[in-house]
Amino acid sequence: MSRRSGILEFAVLGLLRESPMHGYELRKRLNTSLGVFRAFSYGTLYPCLKMLVANGWLIEEPGNNPEDALAAPLAGRRAKIVYRLTAEGKEHFEDLLSQTGPDAYEDEHFAARFAFFGQTSRDVRMRVLEGRRSRLEERLEKMRASLARTRERLDDYTLELQRHGMESVEREVRWLNELIESERAGRDLKGSASGGSAQQNTNGAPGVLPRPGDTPGTDTPGDTTP
């Protein structure tokens, strides 16, 4: 399984743990609540759902909306299928939540993991946050070294872009420091880090997480880190 499909599997199981949904509603939640999935299509989502059903982690049920049931035969369409998490699926998702390997620190996977921090134990949250911070500090050190080597050869605009990228990483490191300090102090971030899967991002926009191209703590799109 590719890393990207693994992130989608994780997010689908996490959303369905909250409540059963049909495919359209699930894709909408992936796009709006978890910004990292805005580029996903039905052609990507439905094979994932079929795989999860085949593994016994989801079951398919007919939709219980009376309007859907009446409209589908008249329009020549099948009734909407609702996907529900099984007991095995819940157990599998909880196992995924407990994992804190290097993939959890990468840009897209970290955003998806952060979305479900409200369902994650404090010690796991700490390991993920500290791992993410270490990864970004390594990235920042490499960026500074690269800039020092190439500064004289860069034009003003390229140099400014490099500085912008460094500032973006520095801002996220500061954001992570604040989160880690709160976790160590035993404080929950109500409506943010620990309030549930549809989180408020650091720009203050509810339900949208940091994603590649956005920077926590700023209102400026197009930054180089989530």
pLDDT tens-digit map of 175-209: 999 999 999 988 766 544 333 443 434 333 333 34
DSSP 205: -
Residue 210's pLDDT band, with cuts at 50, 70 and 90, is very low
Rounded Cα distance between 13 and 84, Å, is 9
| Prediction pTM value | 0.71
Rounded Cα distance between 105 and 172, Å, is 13
pLDDT tens-digit map of 154-175: 899 999 999 999 999 999 999 9
Greater model confidence, 17 or 32: 17
Q: Is the Cα torsion angle 86, 25, 119, 96 positive or negative in sign?
A: positive
pLDDT at 43 (0 to 100): 79
pLDDT at 107 (0 to 100): 86
